[in-house]
Structure 1
């Protein structure tokens, strides 16, 4: 079994409000992520610097060990806290995450350390699998002020999985949809009303 690490540490400055708690349909984005992925992944961890906002959710709530250093610091905190060798990292602003895509990434673990979906030539490191063995690399990068997720992938045994290799994942595009701006949230609400 693999673990689940959800990042909710950003300032949501472009959105103007907390993205994790925005409702899409009857649930918040965070609740949707937990409902969709909990059957496949265990011991969910929420990395946030505002723990009081998430009290009562069925997650272990932790703070960044390196506050203000972005997603790579959230990955570091999650890997330190996790009991699992492998963990799926998910950003809190992805309300249509796909269990099918997560299952396909898990099936490719092998001898890799990072397994990352690709769409239209772009890697998506905020819906990707990470092995705990990368923790020293992540920590070195943070201490050296190298904060791009791509630098972690470049320094690790990474497998990039192209959309064309995932024909059975029929919700690939929606799975990687994220809400950065109010217009993205409007689209998410429309999709949610359509049953996505």
Structure 2
């Protein structure tokens, strides 16, 4: 069942330099109906079960169904520019943001983070003592301070958390839903891709 309270923004504009090919088009485990799917298609399908609004931030048009594609409003501004662009285009005031190369997104963890938002501007999980800004929830009130940072070329996402009301999700709470923290895996190299693909094949693409 989809939840009308929030959008999902997927950042899909990376260069894939270390992978050597477009990560978004990497073959992934078959969909539930047995049809072939790409890594990006799998990520979009996972989050589409949670919301009626999936926004894909990309500077081209990757062949994927179930998402609206929007361009980067601030090119060469890194992930912060992508967050800004996706959040600006989101249909809802609240949005969960993740990267396109994170194959083990956990729906229960996403819903838990959204549930923590209340009147906060941002919800960010913490693992290993560090925030995870590319697996976090943002409200549209983040747009103004993010834009100011981008215009000053201060592109560190963590600075946004200092400028708005932010709540952290402690690692213990995160591990209660995702014991191995697979939600935060992102694939940068062929070796990481093969490891994730093997794990998905053995245990299911959700990482459950």
The answer as to 2:52 corresponding to 1:42 is yes
Partner of 2:28: 24
1:4 maps to which of 5, 8, 19: 8
Unaligned runs of 5+ in 1: none
Q: Residue deviations 1:27-80, cap 9 Å, x none?
A: 3222222222222222111000122x32x5221111101112111111111111
Give the root-mean-square deviation of aligned CA atoms: 1.4
Deviation, structure 1 residue 166: 3.5
**1:59-138 matched pairs, under 5 angstroms:** 59-138=67-146
| Partner SS, residue 128 of structure 1 | strand
Distance 1:11 1:170, change over 3 A: closer
- Higher alpha-carbon deviation: 162-171 or 6-15: 162-171
Unaligned runs of 5+ in 2: 31-36
**3-state secondary structure, aligned to 1:58:** coil
CA contact under 8 A between 2:9 and 2:86: conserved in structure 1? yes
Distance in 2 (alpha carbons) for counterparts of 1:173 and 1:113: 24
Give the C-alpha shift of residue 171 in structure 1: 4.9
Aligned length: 194
Instruction: State which drifts further: 60-69 or 170-179.
Output: 170-179
For 2:132 and 2:193, the matched residues in 1 are separated by 19
User: How far is the alpha carbon of 1:167 from its aligned partner?
Assistant: 4.9
Between 125-134 and 162-171, report the one with greater CA deviation. Answer: 162-171
CA distance in 2, matches of 1:33, 1:95: 6
- Residues 167 and 124 (structure 1), Cα distance of their counterparts in 2 relative to 1, 3 Å cut: closer
Match of 1:164 among 159, 172, 175: 172
CA displacement 1:148-185 (0-9 Å, x = unmatched): 11111221111111121235403551111110122211
Q: Normalising by structure 1, what TM-score?
A: 0.93
TM-score, normalising length from structure 2? 0.88
Stretch moving more, 90-99 or 117-126: 117-126
CA distance in 2, matches of 1:172, 1:147: 29
**Match of residue 144 from structure 1:** 152
